[in-house]
């Protein structure tokens, strides 16, 4: 039984990022090959893009998992991801975009959300994001690489909705700062989000944050 379903096009949800190390990415691939990571929740089959000028996070953990769900045509899909969790996070000049293709009479339609400008960043608590791809400049403080996911204590722990391998590879850090962030993600959840200066726009065609 799934304790949390992250299905549909979650346009009101936001994502932030953490840098998966080369070792973490390799470990996720090995775990997938060995069947060590179980499908834990449903996603819509659509990824979304996020940019931010700066991310400051405290209490970080990252581990491997699989997002499973359905594509827009109803076929099943699964995505290996690096799940990153923060106890707290703030983002400056955040942009999120998602494109829904093949809408009758319209074609592709893009939804873009922007927040965290004008000197007041987006604030989040107990944040988890399922990352597929990331580009950023990053500085870590108090990082531990190669801990067991279930034993990591610096971050918020394994998300309740995830069926991740508690003995699998993970990394953690006291805090991290990322700049010039560009990422593709499949899902995100958070205990709270405070979105300053929120602006949403819907437009025809493909208009993404990057």
What are 29-86's pLDDT values in tens digits? 444 444 444 444 556 778 999 999 999 999 999 999 888 888 888 888 888 899 999 9
* Whole-number pLDDT of residue 163: 67
- What does the domain layout of the chain look like in residue ranges? 22-204
**Among 96, 110, 102, 106, CA closest to 207:** 110
How many angstroms separate the Cα of 46 from the Cα of each of 29, 43, 68, 75, 96?
A: 21, 8, 11, 12, 13
What are 152-163's pLDDT values in tens digits? 999 999 998 786
Output 88 or 68, whichever has higher pLDDT: 88
Q: Which residue has the tokens 């809408």?
A: 103
What are 130-160's pLDDT values in tens digits? 999 999 999 999 999 999 999 999 999 999 8
- Report whether pLDDT(2) > 90: no
- Region 107-130: mean pLDDT is 94
* Whole-number pLDDT of residue 34: 47
* Whole-number pLDDT of residue 41: 53
* Whole-number pLDDT of residue 161: 76
Number of residues that this document lists for the chain = 210
What are 153-206's pLDDT values in tens digits? 999 999 987 868 899 999 999 999 999 999 999 988 899 989 999 999 999 999
- Region 18-23: mean pLDDT is 41
pTM of this structure: 0.79
Long-range contacts, stretch 143-151, CB < 8 angstroms, 24+ apart: 143/171, 143/172, 143/173, 143/174, 144/171, 144/172, 144/173, 145/21, 145/23, 145/24, 145/171, 146/23, 146/171, 147/171, 147/172, 149/61, 149/63, 149/64
Q: Beta strands 39-43 and 48-70: pairing type?
A: parallel
* Whole-number pLDDT of residue 198: 94
* Whole-number pLDDT of residue 4: 41
Between CA 171 and CA 34 the distance in angstroms is 20
* Whole-number pLDDT of residue 172: 96
């Amino acid at each position: 039984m799934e304790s949390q379903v992250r299905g549909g096009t979650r346009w009101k949800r936001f994502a932030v990022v953490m840098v998966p190390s080369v070792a973490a990415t390799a470990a996720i691939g090995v775990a997938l090959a060995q069947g060590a990571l179980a499908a834990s929740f449903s996603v819509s089959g659509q990824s979304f893009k996020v940019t931010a000028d700066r991310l400051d996070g405290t209490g970080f953990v990252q581990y491997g998992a699989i997002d499973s769900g359905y594509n827009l045509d109803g076929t099943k899909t699964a995505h290996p991801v690096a799940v990153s969790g923060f106890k707290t996070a703030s983002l400056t000049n955040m942009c999120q975009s998602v494109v829904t293709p093949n809408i009758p009479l319209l074609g592709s339609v893009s939804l873009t959300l922007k927040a965290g400008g004008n000197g007041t960043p987006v604030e989040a608590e107990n944040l988890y994001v399922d990352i597929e791809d990331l580009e950023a400049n990053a500085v870590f403080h108090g990082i531990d690489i190669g801990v067991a996911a279930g034993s990591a204590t610096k971050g918020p722990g394994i998300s309740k909705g995830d069926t991740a391998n508690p003995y699998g590879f993970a990394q953690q850090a006291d805090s991290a700062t990322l700049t010039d962030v560009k990422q593709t993600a499949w899902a995100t959840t958070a205990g709270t989000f405070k979105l300053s200066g929120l602006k949403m726009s819907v437009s025809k065609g493909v208009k993404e944050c990057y």
